[in-house]
Structure 1
Amino acid sequence: MVTKIDGATTCTPKERQVFETELNMGTVHPAALEPYRVRLFIEDEIVKDAEITVGLNHRGIERIMEGLPVEKANALSEKVCGICSNGHIYNSCRVGEGAIGIEIPERAVYLRVLAEELERLHSHMLYLGHGSEVLCHETFAMRIFYIRESVMELLYMMGGNRVQYGISVLGGIRPRADLNLKEQQKILETMDYIDDKVGAFAERFIADPMVMSRITDTGQLSRKQALDLHVTGPSLRATGYEYDYRTEMFEYEPFEFDIITQDGGDVRANILMRATEIFESTKIIRQVIKNLPDGPVVNRDWEMSDSPVFKSYIEVPRGVCYHSYGLEDGKVRSSIIRTPSMSNIAAMQEACIGHPIQDAQLAIVSCDPCFTCTDRAIQVIKL
């Protein structure tokens, strides 16, 4: 703008213009394989607010479970998720066993822990691979996926499938999931391989200055925010809060392991959390094989009985998972499933605020979200 002051011509600077807009991503986005919608409210490419919408993949599993015989309902619960499928059928069986009062053989308890820790290994490696893809580092992604393949072979050996293994049943595990000495030795050899290869991967990852500069201080979540928003699992421990629900599960009482924590609550802390927890899982698996008791793997000496709603919590790769249902004439009533991603995804709305657009997606996926795991139920409203 040109003005005249005392006959002289001067120029005044233009008023700074701030552009506010809304950016929609989804329901399909290249950074995630599952459908969800992100609304980013931005000023000059900086995220000022965010809204994450899930619920786009309705399957209504809890409603379908209503009225099913309990063992069929347990088998259906495995279909909740393709990554933590073992955790869901494991927890669903725990509900039925607690409701009826079934005593689980000790060997079956150990093998359930083995299956869950193998699943934690493959899930954490999947997270590292997916995170590397979001960082646009395909070499890191392919390296960790190659290592993960060795775990998938063990799950296939034990359960007969690479995705849904069907290991747990009411009263223990399926006899076909039991391990002979040769299979036990293969598991021990694979744990040595994983420790060696994941250790080398982590060292190379941390030594990359470009990667570390991108993930350090990105997507920060304070410990107070995490607790207020009920964040769970590795995402909570990444803020420095020492809590792992495995320490409250009777199945893990025979085993020694450390609760891993990281400080910062940023993407870097979340990645290092999963990488470091891998070594604790291999430690537990070695203890399972070394101390595996003899005896049966399933208890069929029980009678069906009615029960009020029984609740069960376990620690799955993303945090605390909740299952509950009641029994009436051997059939499931009032089934409820709550996955850890429900609260973790909500917390990521806070984590991506204050960052450029290109880092918002990195912050969102840092909690290892499982959107399909969260999208289970539908609510029918009569109009």
Structure 2
Amino acid sequence: MEEKKPKKTVIETEITMGPVHSAAIEPYRVRLFVEDEIVKDAEITIGINHRGIERIMEGLPVEKANSLTEKICGICSNVHIWNSVLVAEKALEIDVPERASNIRIIMAELERLHSHMLYLAHGCEVLGHETFAMRMFYIRETVMELLRMIGGNRVQYGVSIIGGIRPRCNLDEMRVQNIKEGMDSVETQITEFADRFVSDPMIMSRITNVGVLPQKNAIKLGTSGPTLRATGIAKDLRQDMKEYESYEFDIITQDDGDVKSNLLVRVFEILEAVKIIRQAITQLPEGKITNRNWEMYDTPITKSYVEAPRGTLYHSYAIEDGRVRHSIVRTPSIANIGAMQYACVGHHITDAQLSIVQCDPCFTCTDRAIQIIPIKKNIG
């Protein structure tokens, strides 16, 4: 008589994280559908921190609306106001003085530095390595102080205005010297950090082949920024921006699309950002920082794309009677949500949050729009 093999018991369940979770900087909800603690599907829900900024911008004077865009994100506030100002400058055909353009580049790359360092620190925190996390925050302080020195604040600096930059953000010799010394310090310390990080076998085993996003899936999901470049695709909008035409820098890529690749892309992009800042300082010309020789007039909807720390950032609006109309903002994280959900699948639930964090989510800046949908009543 043939022996009956015992049936394998498969436990199917749903695990919910958030909207408040110790491993999440922002409020969002993650639903993990697991079998025997292996993630089979994932769902990320945002909207908890919704503020309707696009609706608030409707009808505001252009200068005031530009300032409001800084409130979209506390990490990449500078790139938001810069891109919003670029929309007006493109629509009104305003030439920006070269000195102002250089200082904008310096601010954009300093912000990339602090954003990537925050990403690395948070990643170490999720890994459970508090020492590396605190070390990265210590290195980041140099960048935060440079941002404060230029903009007068550690968050929301208000540097860009239509036609150039604010006078208080101009760079004198002392500020230039501080930036040079700061970049030397950052380069040395981030190199030492990276050497220690990749030399730790426990950390490398924890992040290698975890949260893998294949290149074809990254393209299919519309992934953007460093998350896309971690799959081997050398796509960076800075290559297409006229503001970066005179700068030499490498597009950093990795091939594996896992947590390790995402971390290494950000580390090497920090060194490239340092390179760009040094070039901007070296070729900083004398002259005006603001072009006030322009007039406000009505324009159609104008679009602008820039490479934010997390990927492609889109701003557009029309100008009517000096006021903003039909504003639309599209942040990188909305494009990367699909990648975050995909990266969880096939891994243990203990790797789920790490797989999400590797894409550098910024859901608070994604929660900025409001859509009005007409409701048709059924009569009958």
TM-score relative to the length of structure 1:
0.96
Matching of residues 216-295 of structure 1 within 5 Å = 216-295=208-287
For the pair 1:354 / 2:325, whether they are aligned, the reply is no
Alignment match, 2:153:
161
Query: Offset of 1:213 from its aligned partner?
Result: 0.4
Can you give the 5+ residue segments of structure 1 that lack an aligned partner in the other structure?
A: none
Counterpart of 2:328 (choices 323, 332, 336) is 336
1:14-55 superposed Cα distances (whole Å, 9 cap, x missing partner): 211101111111111111111111111100000001111111
Separation in structure 2 between the aligned mates of residue 34 and residue 211 of structure 1, nearest angstrom: 25
Alignment match, 1:89:
81
> Which amino acid in 2 is paired with 1:190?
G
Matching of residues 134-213 of structure 1 within 5 Å = 134-213=126-205
Can you give the 5+ residue segments of structure 2 that lack an aligned partner in the other structure?
A: 376-380
Counterpart of 1:38 (choices 30, 45, 62) is 30
Separation in structure 2 between the aligned mates of residue 32 and residue 169 of structure 1, nearest angstrom: 33
For the pair 1:61 / 2:53, whether they are aligned, the reply is yes
Separation in structure 2 between the aligned mates of residue 125 and residue 347 of structure 1, nearest angstrom: 21
Alignment match, 1:305:
297
SS in 1 for 2:243: helix
SS in 1 for 2:49: coil
SS in 2 for 1:179: coil
Alignment match, 2:359:
367
Query: Offset of 1:13 from its aligned partner?
Result: 3.8
> Which amino acid in 1 is paired with 2:136?
I
Separation in structure 1 between the aligned mates of residue 57 and residue 372 of structure 2, nearest angstrom: 16
Separation in structure 1 between the aligned mates of residue 338 and residue 70 of structure 2, nearest angstrom: 24
Separation in structure 1 between the aligned mates of residue 51 and residue 164 of structure 2, nearest angstrom: 28
SS in 2 for 1:116: helix
> Which amino acid in 1 is paired with 2:182?
T
Alignment match, 1:125:
117
Matching of residues 21-36 of structure 1 within 5 Å = 21-36=13-28
Q: Which entry has the higher C-alpha Rg, 1 or 2? A: 1
Separation in structure 1 between the aligned mates of residue 352 and residue 115 of structure 2, nearest angstrom: 22
Alignment match, 2:207:
215
> Which amino acid in 2 is paired with 1:336?
I
CA RMSD of aligned residues (A): 1.0
SS in 2 for 1:262: coil
For the pair 1:76 / 2:68, whether they are aligned, the reply is yes
Separation in structure 2 between the aligned mates of residue 38 and residue 124 of structure 1, nearest angstrom: 23
> Which amino acid in 2 is paired with 1:233?
G
Separation in structure 1 between the aligned mates of residue 293 and residue 373 of structure 2, nearest angstrom: 43
1:102-155 superposed Cα distances (whole Å, 9 cap, x missing partner): 111110010000000000000000000000000000000000100000000000
Separation in structure 2 between the aligned mates of residue 117 and residue 103 of structure 1, nearest angstrom: 22
Separation in structure 1 between the aligned mates of residue 255 and residue 306 of structure 2, nearest angstrom: 24
Query: Offset of 1:11 from its aligned partner?
Result: 6.6
SS in 2 for 1:298: coil
SS in 2 for 1:312: strand
Separation in structure 1 between the aligned mates of residue 294 and residue 187 of structure 2, nearest angstrom: 41
1:276-304 superposed Cα distances (whole Å, 9 cap, x missing partner): 10010000000111110111111111110
SS in 2 for 1:41: strand
1:239-278 superposed Cα distances (whole Å, 9 cap, x missing partner): 0001110010001011110111111000000000000100
SS in 1 for 2:43: strand
Separation in structure 1 between the aligned mates of residue 238 and residue 342 of structure 2, nearest angstrom: 27
Separation in structure 1 between the aligned mates of residue 15 and residue 181 of structure 2, nearest angstrom: 49
Query: Offset of 1:382 from its aligned partner?
Result: 4.9
Separation in structure 2 between the aligned mates of residue 209 and residue 382 of structure 1, nearest angstrom: 56
Query: When the two structures are aligned, how many residues end up with a matched partner?
Result: 375
Separation in structure 2 between the aligned mates of residue 379 and residue 252 of structure 1, nearest angstrom: 34
Separation in structure 2 between the aligned mates of residue 37 and residue 309 of structure 1, nearest angstrom: 34
> Which amino acid in 1 is paired with 2:181?
E
Separation in structure 2 between the aligned mates of residue 163 and residue 47 of structure 1, nearest angstrom: 37
Separation in structure 2 between the aligned mates of residue 65 and residue 346 of structure 1, nearest angstrom: 28
Alignment match, 2:378:
none
SS in 2 for 1:268: helix
SS in 2 for 1:162: coil
Separation in structure 1 between the aligned mates of residue 341 and residue 355 of structure 2, nearest angstrom: 9
> Which amino acid in 2 is paired with 1:202?
A
SS in 2 for 1:322: strand
SS in 1 for 2:336: helix
Separation in structure 1 between the aligned mates of residue 215 and residue 4 of structure 2, nearest angstrom: 47
SS in 2 for 1:255: coil
1:184-228 superposed Cα distances (whole Å, 9 cap, x missing partner): 011001111011000000000001111110100000001111111
Which moves more between the two structures, 307-316 or 10-19?
A: 10-19
> Which amino acid in 2 is paired with 1:118?
L
